[in-house]
Chains A and B, each alone.
Chain A
């Protein structure tokens, strides 16, 4: 089975621009979560989608948004980029949402640099 894939792997943007990141979960996985990873802050949870519905949301401003498609692929959008948005954005998929917890599998991440 193919793992979680994320595109693009690297991205350079300037302040004020917007960006869209994509995540394809493992086949059969219906839950997709997004995290922001920065040095010293660890992983900060952004949001989780399951069956095209947002199930959970972290404490990030409204500039961060996401969506999930019927094939479970997910996109994350950041509008009006700020320098502090520079980070590694990780996507993780799980087979289910709720019920007995199953393992979360991570993608390689998208490294976003805001200049």
Chain B
């Protein structure tokens, strides 16, 4: 069975600094997708970034980038120039195709606090 592990329950970072959130996963699949979702306090979960496993190039979205290490089954999220609005719960998610649809598995989340 697939599992997703986020080993850092809580983290904090000073405004304008860089922080990296870790995520590891376990799978025997070769084709899958990985995501980072952000859930701000009392607000809706939104997609931050996604990575297709067949792509070697790391995905980047503005200040957010990933370090995807397929062999190591690692998918970390780097947030550069942290802003107060980045304070949120961050979830790493694994997705693979199953008959007729896709199956998502989420980690337990990392609570990130950006300090002024």
Write the nearest CB–CB distance from B8 to chain A, whole angstroms: 13
Interface residues of A (CB under 8 A from B): 3-4, 31, 33, 35, 40-45, 48, 50, 55-56, 90, 97-98, 101, 103-109
Do A108 and B43 form a contact, CB below 8 Å, given A42-B109, A101-B33, A103-B50? yes
**Across the interface, which residues of B come within 8 angstroms of A90, CB to CB?**
45
* CB of A32, distance to nearest CB on chain B (Å): 11
Q: Does B44 make an interface contact (CB < 8 A)?
A: yes
Chain B residues bordering chain A, tally (CB within 8 A): 24
Chain B residues, Cβ within 8 Å of A56: 98, 100-101, 103
Are B91 and A97 in touch, CB under 8 angstroms? no
- Pairwise interchain contact A106-B46, C-beta atoms closer than 8 A: yes
Query: Chain A CB within 10 Å — which of B37, B46, B101 has the most?
Result: B101
Closest Cβ–Cβ distance, residue B76 to chain A (whole Å) = 17
Is B105 on the interface with A (CB-CB < 8 A)? yes
B88 to chain A, nearest CB (A): 13
Given A97-B100, A105-B47, 17 other A-B residues pairs in contact with their CB atoms under 8 A: A45-B105, A56-B98, A56-B100, A56-B101, A56-B103, A90-B45, A98-B97, A98-B101, A101-B95, A103-B47, A104-B104, A106-B37, A106-B44, A106-B45, A107-B44, A108-B44, A109-B44
- For window 75-111 of B, CB contacts with A under 8 Å fall at 91, 93, 95, 97-98, 100-109
